[in-house]
Structure 1
Amino acid sequence: MSVIRCSVVIPTYNAAHLIGEQLGALAAQVGAPDFEVVVADNGSTDDLAAAVGLWTERLDVRIVDASRGRGVSVARNVGIGHATSDRILICDADDRVAPGWIAAMMCGLDDHPLVSGPIETTLLSGRSATWVPIDQRTTGLFETWGGRTYGLGGNVGLRCEVWERVGGYDETYPAGAEEIDFAWRAHDLGYRFAYVEEALVHYRIRTDLKGVLRQQYNSGRGTTTLYSKFRPAEVSPKSVRRRIHHELLLLRRFPWLGSADDRRSWLTLMAFEAGKLVEARNLGCPAP
């Protein structure tokens, strides 16, 4: 019997129409050790079982019930809790890992407790890749205050001890910034992310404007939640006057003479700002 050396955790919600592409990419991995795939179902109402069942002859894959609460953090925590190895790789159901992703991530985990790699947005997203403020091909870890870095939640590798010591992903977050929260708490315990250039993930941005706006709105909400917990000393809250001035400047930047994609990009920025303000009001704290 082969020994499972790593567990790939895929948090999933109503992605039966997309997950086959990700499972196919995992089945085609090059140079990977023996691994299992844990699909953490966050309460899907589509036919996820049938979609995953198509791959059981090519992958050691199973579905676990992660419906005890709504959110990607719940699904990640449940999936990791069901893993049978101490090396955890996390990817998303609607993305596609590159052929050498597992091998590269495992190599990184030999020397580092936390790893992440680049993402590329154009292959699966097309023109909507230009609507969001994410580089179409990243070249390093994402940076935040105080030199703290993090990896995008859908391209993370970690040793199980890190997840256990950190206390898992915070399940109170809306769908955004929870991976930064995890990275910051890991940082406080002495864990640092390492960048693995070969661990590429093709990242899917929603191709409908409504979906992109919802995604950016939730990201704004998550950003406010993050800063309500970890507001760095060098970040002073904006006064009401400064906040109004900031929002008016954004409104004045509407690209009247720009292209349709320019206007969509502006709308995604405004959705992010709206999410920050709404969550700040909900939490009773200043917006970042």
Structure 2
Amino acid sequence: MSVPVCSVVIPTYDAAHLIGQQLEALATQVDAPPFEVVVADNRSTDDLAGAVAAWDDRLDVRLVDASRAQGVSVARNVGIEHARTDRILICDADDVVSPGWVRTMSDGLDDHPLVSGPVETSRLSGRSAAWVPIDERTAGLFETWEGRTYGIGGNVGLRRGVWAAVGGFDEDYPAGAEEIDFAWRAADLGHTFAYLPDALVHYRIRTDLRGVLRQQYNSGRGTATLYAKFRPAEVVPKSVPRRIHHELLLLKGFPWRGTADQRRMWLTVMAFEAGKLVEARRLGSPAP
């Protein structure tokens, strides 16, 4: 195989039943430069090794051990450490990149230290795409407090030097907001994301409600961790009376006369709020 000019890193946990779709998408990239695929196994208990080995004849793919601790940040960091190139493209095992994704992301790193693109949620998720507060097709970088932007973790390109200067992904985060933390620390060093509209990823929302609620709960925990670490001045934590009032308004807003999907979306908002409050209390920090 040709010497790769970029590396696709896939942090993976128990995705043997899904990763074939992502590897198929990578094997059929259009006009892509030579690239390698590094699958970082984060303590999988399924036959991930067999699922990856099945693509040896179509991809320059390697499985690396990322079991030193549990967490997506660990897997991303280990995958990057094992990559043979300085251009790192990160996607997730349960998503599917678009046909020109590798070319677009690799080219974007010619001019920018960090790149990301849109995600689309309906193709892989069906009706569960309507349960979470993510546009069914995004049209720009994601935003947080005071307009700070970031690229979603499953659609990121970066230069190795930037990753090293930032200190990698923070491995102390729960499963949520770690990519925001990385983007903020990178911005403090003068490295910001560029948006590549053609670098589309088909993003999978869990199709079982329990899985979606767990995902949103962890996102809330991550948001609380982010606030506790950075304490952005523009975010004023709610006083106890205001917090109680806020939560009561959310409870009162249950869509009794709404559709089943509207009720599920309400549940995801409550799961996010619960995760935020639980983690803030654990950290001894006000909830944002």
> 1:63-78, aligned counterparts within 5 Å?
63-78=63-78
- For the residues of structure 1 that align with 2:119 and 2:94, how far apart are their CA atoms? 13
Post-superposition CA distance 1:131-173 (Å, at most 9, x none): 0000000000011223321000000000000100000000000
Residue in 2 that maps onto 1:57:
57
Task: Classify 1:258/1:147 alpha carbon distance in 2 versus 1 (closer, same or farther; 3 Å).
Answer: closer
User: Aligned partners of 1:95 and 1:41: how far apart in 2?
Assistant: 16
- Measured in 2, the distance between the counterparts of 1:17 and 1:146 equals 40
- The code of the aligned residue for 1:150 comes to Y
1:204-246 CA-to-partner distances (Å, cap 9, x unmatched) read 0000000000000000000000000112111111100010000
Comparing 114-123 with 142-151, which one deviates more in the overlay?
142-151
Aligned to 1:181: 181
Residue 208 of structure 1 pairs with residue 221 of structure 2:
no
Distance in 2 between residues matched to 1:278 and 1:143, nearest whole Å:
23
Question: Offset at 1:266?
Answer: 0.4
Secondary structure, aligned partner of 1:111: coil
**Aligned residue for 2:19?**
19
**Aligned letter for 1:161?**
G
Aligned twin of 2:28: 28
What are the within-5 Å matches in structure 2 for residues 106-121 of structure 1? 106-121=106-121
Offset, 1:273: 0.2
1:99 and 2:99 matched: yes
TM-score normalised according to structure 2 size: 0.99
Which residue of the partner structure matches residue 217 of structure 2?
217
Moved more, 221-230 or 137-146: 137-146
Quote the sequence identity (%): 79
TM-score, normalised with respect to structure 1:
0.99
How far has the Cα of 1:53 moved from its partner? 1.0
Find out whether 1:245 has 2:245 as its counterpart.
Answer: yes
Question: In structure 1, how many angstroms separate the alpha carbons of the residues matched to 2:20 and 2:58?
Answer: 12
- Partner SS, residue 251 of structure 1: helix
* One-letter amino acid of the structure 2 residue matched with residue 38 of structure 1: V
Q: Deviations over 1:241-281 (max 9, x none)?
A: 01000000000000000111111000000000000000011
Partner of 1:152: 152
Q: Which residue of 2 aligns with 1:46?
A: 46
What whole-Å deviation, never above 9, does each CA across 1:175-207 have from its counterpart, x for those lacking one?
000000000000000001000000000000000
Q: Provide the secondary structure at the position in 2 that maps to 1:241.
A: helix
Task: State how far apart, in whole Å, the 2-side matches of 1:61 and 1:93 are.
Answer: 13
Taking the aligned partners of 2:219 and 2:146, their CA distance within structure 1 comes to 21
Which letter does structure 2 place at the counterpart of 1:270?
A: M
The farther-off stretch of 136-145 and 168-177 is 136-145
Gaps of 5+ in 1: none
| 2:133 alignment counterpart | 133
1:110 alignment partner, SS class: coil
For residues 45-92 of structure 1, what are the alpha-carbon distances to aligned partners after superposition, in whole Å with 9 as ceiling and x for unaligned? 000011111100000001000000000000000000000000000000
Alignment match, 1:236: 236
- In structure 1, how many angstroms separate the alpha carbons of the residues matched to 2:196 and 2:41? 28
In 2, the alpha carbon distance for the partners of 1:2 and 1:272 equals: 45
Q: Which residue of 2 aligns with 1:267?
A: 267
SS at match of 1:102: helix
* Residues in 2 aligned to 1:147 and 1:133: alpha-carbon distance in whole angstroms: 17
